[in-house]
Structure 1
Amino acid sequence: MSRHARAARFAYFDIALTMLIGLAIAAPSTAQEKRYDPGASDAVIKIGNTAPYSGPLSSNGIIARTEGAFFKMINEQGGVNGREIEFISYDDAYSPPKTVEQTRKLIESDEVLLLFNQLGTPTTMSVIKYVNAKKVPQLFIAAGGTIFGDQKTYPWSMGFQPSYQSETRIYGRYLRENYPTGKIAVLSSNDDFGRDNIKGLKDGLGDAVGNIVAEVTYETSAPTIDSELVRLKFSGASIFVNFASAKFAAQAIKKAAEIGWKPVHILHGNSQSISAVLKPAGLENARDIITASYSKDPADAAWKDDPGLKRFSDFMAKYMPGEDKNNFYVVYGYNAAQALVEVLGRCKDDLTRANIMRQAEALNQVHLDMLLPDVTLSTSPADHYPIEQMQLQKFDGQNWVRFGSAMKGR
């Protein structure tokens, strides 16, 4: 072979080698562009949920149905970065043993990428250690247990709404400042939900905690709370703090009216739904009840020209026709689903569980369509309480009327 031929041949190999090295360098970069954990692919993102479609909190099942409808809308719009959301939601009947069974199924059989908006304090507590041991994101839990923001103990879990202690601390401060000598009777459930609420209320009352003259608890399996209401009335209290869940809150409002008890009435924010709680109790019976909220009331004329309400109303008309758009639980589900889509969108092509938590911990004043103007989502690796502001409101017989300014209970 001539010298020129050998030189040409070596030059060819040099070019080929350079191309191969270039491809080798480029290949890992291309592979790193898309990263998946179980439940994610080029086509789909699998999300798991448990909700009480039956049982004592069945009225709250509309939350998950709303979320399913919202994800359907997102899929029809092209999905999240081109991927469809597969929302797998099982009924746990607000029963911790059932929650354990269904959560294991979601993680081990369905292989979901993450868990989203599981509802209830006792139900979520029954699985939180297992979920964290599996290192599966458990985002925007539909309960205000203070423990759900404890990022040191449960780094893979995150709440959504203000913690129960944060909310009830606001009520305690309000009563201390406006009814400094008022005698207080409290109704709460005999579980972690109830205990969290009592703790916050007493913290907010501060030196006025001695104004509590009666504390009565009920079992969530009980058919009624009529006898509990009679006991509270005869305590001589002029203030009724009603920390019952939806079904029992409605019973309490109705029974108080039946026995002629007309105290200053504080209602837990979880039970502020006009359609699911106040209407069954009787709207007139609910007049002047006070609660706190962080979301817009679709029936409030103040939002008639609001762009966020317009998007929500359009969603309801197309994807949930016939449902009451004024239902607080529908608004809640819409907000939660929109928050999750925000997090997933930020993940881009890195759909690993670790990155999902990184993005969920990096929200900075994110506003959702149906949050009050002064309320936003903000998180950090040291802050797993996305929503912390609330505003007091009073029921006028038809709608909730806000008063004061948004405040934090922490």
Structure 2
Amino acid sequence: MKKKKAWSALCAGLILAWGMGSAQAQLLIGQTAGFSGQVASGVQETSDGAKLYIDMVNARGGVNGQKIEVISLDDKFDPKTAAENARQLIEEKNVLAMFLTRGTPHTEGIIPLLDKHGVALVAPSTGAMVLHQPVRKNIFNVRATYQREAEKAMTHLASMGITRVAVFYSDDSFGADGVQGAQKGLAAAKLQPVVLEKFDRAKPDFAPLAGKAAKADAQAVLMIASGTSVVEGVNALRAAGSAAQIVTLSNNASSGFIKSLGANARGVIVTQVFPNERGANYPMVKEAQELAKAKGTEVSPAMLEGFAAAKVLVEGLKRAGPKPDRAKIHAALESIRKFDIGGLEVSFTPEDHTGLDFADLSIIGTDGRFRR
């Protein structure tokens, strides 16, 4: 009876399978992410971007004659559920690799499973420094760190003459990580935050924090938070009478995030870890645009992150040969040097699993789109 219930739970959580069907897809890849909950829109867009590339690869015959299937489970952005999903994918579904997890504590929670079974995780959708340094043997990052983003954002604000900055951050490993970058950027400008406050990730209460920021006459507020938490924080700030410039990180670089902000979207600064999704000077962006257009959609920054992630995953599978296993895929990924994904180069070594270090800034325009 217990086994039956466990299987039912697995089936209920199985929300997406990319590829050509179980009968034909021989390369099984696992993903756990919050397809529902506070980061759902960003997760969906990132996964859609990866799907653009994987669908194209499968349509051309797959990798070494084998089709790729990504089995995705919804963890509702809950770290405990993420760990259980990863266990099911690794131990029961026998996936060759994990892919595009979302969230810092969520990804940290599955590291013991990765290490126990020798499974590589390609492109976690988080820029936590803890996944970069010290090097995590089985994690292959394909994006810059949150610390780099936060530091760049603070440096930009200082260059604009802004000296009164408040920082709100999630009370978890993600928030603590981003704060380090923000403080580094502020220190370089010889500034201290006028408000530095953390909040409960699961049940945030922004009214007291917004009141403090308004009282301190903060000119800008950096929100190191995810999805709906940022929306609630912005709403609270405006309700408190604060007109501060809002800044947040690339985990919120999705079209869905802009929509959720509603009337408060215009002027919000969002850091980015990939080039302009509407620019044509990067071959990767142009390729993604063409594939998206064929499917009647537009590329968002979140989609571009997924697209780049898929390129690295496919390259690792190619290098692993016609009969890949977990160990071969790990070795293949670690052999990647200066791999051009379309205007950006990805490299891994046993001592460095960062992949890319690109960071930029964008602002949400009056048309509800990111502007560089």
TM superposition score category, shorter chain reference: 0.7 to 0.9
TM-score by length of 2: 0.84
Partner of 2:175: 194
Q: Report matched runs for 1:294-373 at 5 Å.
A: 294-298=273-277, 300=278, 302-303=279-280, 308-319=284-295, 321=296, 325-349=298-322, 351-369=324-342, 373=343
Tell me how far 1:165 sits from its aligned partner: 1.4
Kindly, what percent of the aligned residue pairs are identical? 25
Partner of 2:8: none
Q: Distance in 1 between matches of 2:211 and 2:94?
A: 49
- Structure 2 stretches of 5 or more lacking a match? 1-23
2:127 to 144, 148, 152: 144
Task: Flag the structure with more relative contact order, 1 or 2, with Cα contacts below 8 A and sequence separation at least 6.
Answer: 2
Partner of 1:112: 95
Q: Equivalent residue of 1:126, what SS?
A: helix
Q: Report matched runs for 1:18-97 at 5 Å.
A: 44-62=26-44, 63-68=46-51, 70-97=53-80
Q: Distance in 1 between matches of 2:250 and 2:65?
A: 37
Q: Equivalent residue of 1:220, what SS?
A: coil
Distance 1:150 1:182, change over 3 A: closer
- Structure 1 stretches of 5 or more lacking a match? 1-41, 403-410
Is 1:280 matched with 2:284?
no
Distance 1:94 1:335, change over 3 A: same
- Preserved contact between residue 267 and residue 290 of structure 1 (Cα < 8 Å): yes
Tell me how far 1:192 sits from its aligned partner: 0.5
Partner of 1:228: 209
Q: Equivalent residue of 1:378, what SS?
A: strand
Distance 1:327 1:230, change over 3 A: farther
Q: Distance in 1 between matches of 2:257 and 2:158?
A: 27
Partner of 2:245: 264
Between stretches 387-396 and 45-54, larger displacement belongs to 387-396
Partner of 1:7: none
Between stretches 160-169 and 307-316, larger displacement belongs to 307-316
Is 1:166 matched with 2:148?
yes
Tell me how far 1:276 sits from its aligned partner: 1.4
- Preserved contact between residue 137 and residue 357 of structure 1 (Cα < 8 Å): yes
Is 1:293 matched with 2:272?
yes
Question: Could you report, residue by residue, the CA deviation over 1:311-354 in whole angstroms, capped at 9, with x for unpaired residues?
Answer: 323322445x4xx5243322222221122112212222352323
TM-score by length of 1: 0.76
Q: Counterpart of 2:249 in structure 1: which amino acid?
A: H
Larger radius of gyration: 1
Question: Could you report, residue by residue, the CA deviation over 1:284-326 in whole angstroms, capped at 9, with x for unpaired residues?
Answer: x33333333232444x4x43x865444323322445x4xx524
Backbone CA RMSD of aligned residues: 2.6
Distance 1:328 1:253, change over 3 A: farther
Distance 1:77 1:327, change over 3 A: same
Tell me how far 1:255 sits from its aligned partner: 3.9
Q: Equivalent residue of 1:127, what SS?
A: helix
Partner of 1:376: 345
1:240 to 221, 224, 235: 221
Tell me how far 1:95 sits from its aligned partner: 0.9
Q: Distance in 1 between matches of 2:139 and 2:363?
A: 33
Q: Counterpart of 2:262 in structure 1: which amino acid?
A: G
Q: Distance in 2 between matches of 1:293 and 1:66?
A: 16
Q: Equivalent residue of 2:231, what SS?
A: helix
Question: Could you report, residue by residue, the CA deviation over 1:342-368 in whole angstroms, capped at 9, with x for unpaired residues?
Answer: 221222235232332233223333333
Tell me how far 1:202 sits from its aligned partner: 1.0
Q: Distance in 1 between matches of 2:323 and 2:156?
A: 46
Q: Distance in 1 between matches of 2:283 and 2:351?
A: 33
Q: Equivalent residue of 2:341, what SS?
A: coil
Is 1:389 matched with 2:358?
yes
Q: Distance in 2 between matches of 1:52 and 1:288?
A: 27
Partner of 1:31: none
Q: Equivalent residue of 2:355, what SS?
A: coil
Question: Could you report, residue by residue, the CA deviation over 1:195-247 in whole angstroms, capped at 9, with x for unpaired residues?
Answer: 00001111222255652111122222226634432332222222211222121
Partner of 2:138: 156
Q: Distance in 2 between matches of 1:332 and 1:310?
A: 14
- Preserved contact between residue 146 and residue 177 of structure 2 (Cα < 8 Å): yes
- Preserved contact between residue 226 and residue 251 of structure 1 (Cα < 8 Å): no
